[in-house]
Structure 1
Amino acid sequence: MSRQAGRRPRPRKVRGESAVGRRLEVEIGPVAHGGHFVARTEERVVFVRHALPGERVVVEITDGTDGDKFWRGDAIEVLSASPDRVEPPCRYAGPGLCGGCDFQHVDLAAQRGLKAAVVQEQLRRMAGLDIEVVVEQVPGDDQGLGWRTRQRYVHLPDGQRGMRKHRSHDVVPVDTCLLEAADGPSYEVHGQRFEVADGGFWQVHPGAPTALVDAVLGALAPQPGESVLDLYAGVGLFSRFLADAVGVDGRVAAVEGDRAASVLSERNVPGITACAGDVATVLAGELLVSWSHADLVVLDPPRAGAKRAVVEQVVARGPRAVAYVACDPAALARDLAIFAEHGYALSSLRAFDLFPMTHHVECVALLERTGSDLR
């Protein structure tokens, strides 16, 4: 769902006899980050997919050994169903089938509630922040379906196509994916057209670019004459509108690791300073020697987040505000804690349901110097 979607899990060291295939009857607890739910036995925690809080289910273990502290499993039988459970619209969604959707068995409004709970828990646990989170619906999907403007299938030797199982190389043949949009991506936002390379990064939900631009600009409230650093800038989505806002007396620098995207950002946003390279390295180097101060900063990192080296380079420039666009709440919470060490507090946070039927959620956090109150 992001720039790092499809990353394979690392193999774990075998610690005892395999538990794969065992079945347990468990009570399902709260949602956890990653699209699963927590169940507890006397011996260990079990992370369960295809379940819901409060349900009584039979779990079949899909990953784990007797020596592990936790196991993974699928709810293959529901003994006591949650009122939020619905029939999945896709026949390929369920235990042992396509691993692309985590929440097709969940009412759409309840999906957003689960995502909000995950964001809140990560902020509380990793950043010491206790705030209410509401995940907002974004126009552009059809009841949570038909929003993937870019879709990748596995092409099988017999000419069929398929999707991979969860945490597996195994492929499930499919006729079609209900998340796939009828049309490809539109690269126009608020009347501005963007050039994007074939296969280059662009948000896959039709409503995502507009929603994120509006959230970032609304949070930062850029003023004429201000200087802005747009980090992990892609093809210049945010830079385009920030440049308009700061005007001819302001300036915008766009830093992007992908060289092709950086070149396109200059075409999409004439007059910006475009720098291609690792963001931490560029910020610490000589390319931005005249940018010892920036009034505003936008961070839109990949799933791993910005991390300490980038955060410390950002705060060293003394911005009055930072907008952090995050596709992983755990990475966001970790980086917010680093910002807090340097006197920047969370002023507001919005969350968007840009990936319905999955556990993924996008957040836009506004950070300002300590002393501002949470809006």
Structure 2
Amino acid sequence: MTTTTNRRAADEVDTTVEVGPIAHGGHCVARLDGRVVFVRHALPGERVRVRVTDTSHEKFWRADAIEVLAASPDRVESRCTVSGPGRCGGCDFQHVSLAGQRRLKAAVLAEQLDRLAGIAWDGVVEAVESPGTEDGLGWRTRMRYQVDDSGRAGLRRHRSHEIEPLPEGGCPIAHPAAPSVTDQAWPPGAEMLAVSAGSGGALLVDGVVEQGNREVTEHAAGRDWRLAADGFWQVHPGAADTLVEAVLAGLEPGPGERAFDLYCGVGLFAGALIDAGAQTWGVEWSREAIAYARRNVPEARFTAGKVERVIRTMPKRTDLVVLDPPRTGAGKDVVDAIVARRPRAIAYVACDPAALARDLARAARGGYRPVGIRAFDLFPMTHHLETVAVLTKVRSDQR
């Protein structure tokens, strides 16, 4: 059977499956005629009718649950009217209770750590609540929208360039203080960024400021942080303080210690390390972010450039390392360079469990293993989570 024929046949299939465990990526695993099928909008243990949506991979298919025949106790009514099969692709877990979401995320993190790094983890995903976010809505302070051909703002559908217009009143997970984008028509094809910051809201349309200012100010870890409105900052209101607390609790930095802050952004962790008395050197590829970091934390040293290159020029020894890499992880070269400097402790802030596990496995080859792993629910209604792993050198007699 050719791929084209196979795809056409599968697209016409609506069939019933028993749903298995959660998998990394916001879907559950089921089997159809012996083939692995990744099912969205389902929950482990459910019996659902699915519609196959993608047969382009030889080893697995993708499907949407279009009818629930036997529901999980964790299933709830979605709070978003455009969430569901074939609709907005932004939220994976609108149909799951908050407690259920955190259990699913914990299961994914545990599976990735075990399979990719040989690490047994039985922790929980901790709730992070700020005023107004207790129900898992209204937390996202930075939202990127696309504009469809009729001028309506929306979000892309799952694995698609098609745009799902926002529901009346806007996206339910968007912070209420961010500028509204549902009150008028916008230029077709435009991309918009709506920001809620400590200093107020901002709206950029194709990079041009429509409301607010190009520079915003946030407050966290006892300092004010200036950054570009379209620059990187954690999107949950409670994230910055939560992550700084977890990093400092794990590292316990002391006066006079030397520290690296890798992928430092505008200097959040560098500022916390400086305030604890550590001499800190931050590295970030974005020159704009480094310019802000120097203004935000003038007591620290900062270098703009790719971490894997800059680290070659940094001191051969350091006491502490904080790294907060992008979703793809730090990678072999950076991890090897870190462990070669024999730091007393490493704090790894990760937004992807698989990348974290791969990098922890690499660190283990250099004799570093986690002494603590904490996970935080900074992205309710989605499959994403944030993790802080603290590593120390293992004595040769403990390996």
Equivalences for residues 70-85 of structure 1 within 5 A: 70-85=60-75
Higher RCO (C-alpha under 8 Å, 6+ residues apart)? 1
**2-structure distance, mates of 1:73, 1:255:** 42
> Aligned to 1:93, which of 83, 94, 114?
83
2:222 is the alignment partner of 1:191: yes
Match of 2:143 in 1: 151
Match of 2:172 in 1: 178
**2-structure distance, mates of 1:325, 1:14:** 41
Count of residue correspondences = 354
The answer on whether the counterparts of 1:15 and 1:68 sit within 8 Å (CA) in structure 2 is: no
Match of 1:17 in 2: 6
The answer on whether the counterparts of 1:21 and 1:62 sit within 8 Å (CA) in structure 2 is: no
The answer on whether the counterparts of 2:264 and 2:282 sit within 8 Å (CA) in structure 1 is: yes
Q: Structure 1 residue 164: deviation in Å?
A: 0.9
Match of 2:328 in 1: 304
> Aligned to 2:269, which of 216, 238, 248?
238
Match of 2:209 in 1: none
Q: Secondary structure at the match of 2:111?
A: helix
Match of 1:3 in 2: none
The answer on whether the counterparts of 2:262 and 2:283 sit within 8 Å (CA) in structure 1 is: yes
The answer on whether the counterparts of 2:39 and 2:63 sit within 8 Å (CA) in structure 1 is: yes
The answer on whether the counterparts of 1:185 and 1:204 sit within 8 Å (CA) in structure 2 is: no
Q: 1:14 to 1:292 in 2, by over 3 A?
A: farther
Amino acid at match of 1:281: R
**1-structure distance, mates of 2:374, 2:134:** 22
Q: Secondary structure at the match of 1:368?
A: strand
**2-structure distance, mates of 1:14, 1:268:** 55
Q: Structure 1 residue 15: deviation in Å?
A: 7.2
> Aligned to 1:280, which of 296, 308, 311?
308
**2-structure distance, mates of 1:15, 1:236:** 51
Q: Secondary structure at the match of 1:275?
A: strand
Match of 1:319 in 2: 343
Q: Structure 1 residue 24: deviation in Å?
A: 1.9
**1-structure distance, mates of 2:25, 2:87:** 17
Match of 1:226 in 2: 257
Match of 1:136 in 2: 126
Amino acid at match of 1:52: L
Match of 1:336 in 2: 360
**2-structure distance, mates of 1:15, 1:241:** 56
The answer on whether the counterparts of 2:147 and 2:163 sit within 8 Å (CA) in structure 1 is: no
Q: Structure 1 residue 130: deviation in Å?
A: 1.1
Report the structure, 1 or 2, having the larger strand content.
Answer: 2
Q: Secondary structure at the match of 1:240?
A: helix
Q: Structure 1 residue 131: deviation in Å?
A: 1.6
> Aligned to 1:355, which of 379, 387, 395?
379
Query: For residues 204-241 of structure 1, what are the alpha-carbon distances to aligned partners after superposition, in whole Å with 9 as ceiling and x for unaligned?
Result: 10000000000001100000100000000000000001
TM-score, normalization by structure 2: 0.86
Q: Structure 1 residue 172: deviation in Å?
A: 1.1
Q: Return 5+ residue gaps in structure 1 as ranges.
A: 1-12
Q: Return 5+ residue gaps in structure 2 as ranges.
A: 178-195, 199-217
268-277 vs 148-157, which deviates more?
148-157
Query: For residues 226-284 of structure 1, what are the alpha-carbon distances to aligned partners after superposition, in whole Å with 9 as ceiling and x for unaligned?
Result: 000000000000000100112xxx41000001110011111111121101010001112
**2-structure distance, mates of 1:299, 1:142:** 29
**2-structure distance, mates of 1:15, 1:188:** 54
> Aligned to 1:217, which of 244, 248, 264?
248
314-323 vs 156-165, which deviates more?
156-165
Q: Secondary structure at the match of 1:195?
A: strand
The answer on whether the counterparts of 1:229 and 1:253 sit within 8 Å (CA) in structure 2 is: yes
The answer on whether the counterparts of 2:342 and 2:393 sit within 8 Å (CA) in structure 1 is: no
Match of 2:285 in 1: 257
The answer on whether the counterparts of 1:251 and 1:272 sit within 8 Å (CA) in structure 2 is: yes
Amino acid at match of 1:185: A
Q: Structure 1 residue 371: deviation in Å?
A: 4.3
Q: Which runs of 4+ in 1 moved over 6 A?
A: none
Tell me how large the CA RMSD over aligned residues is: 1.7
Match of 2:297 in 1: 269
> Aligned to 1:33, which of 24, 28, 34?
24
Q: Secondary structure at the match of 1:114?
A: helix
Q: Structure 1 residue 17: deviation in Å?
A: 2.2
Q: 1:45 to 1:143 in 2, by over 3 A?
A: same
Amino acid at match of 2:378: L
130-139 vs 318-327, which deviates more?
130-139
The answer on whether the counterparts of 1:117 and 1:133 sit within 8 Å (CA) in structure 2 is: no
Q: Structure 1 residue 324: deviation in Å?
A: 0.1
Amino acid at match of 1:261: A
Q: Structure 1 residue 162: deviation in Å?
A: 1.2
Q: Secondary structure at the match of 1:152?
A: strand
Aligned-residue identity in percent: 55
355-364 vs 188-197, which deviates more?
188-197
TM-score, normalization by structure 1: 0.91
Q: Structure 1 residue 349: deviation in Å?
A: 0.5
Amino acid at match of 1:362: E
**2-structure distance, mates of 1:40, 1:112:** 25
Query: For residues 20-57 of structure 1, what are the alpha-carbon distances to aligned partners after superposition, in whole Å with 9 as ceiling and x for unaligned?
Result: 24212100000000000000123310000000011000
2:55 is the alignment partner of 1:64: yes
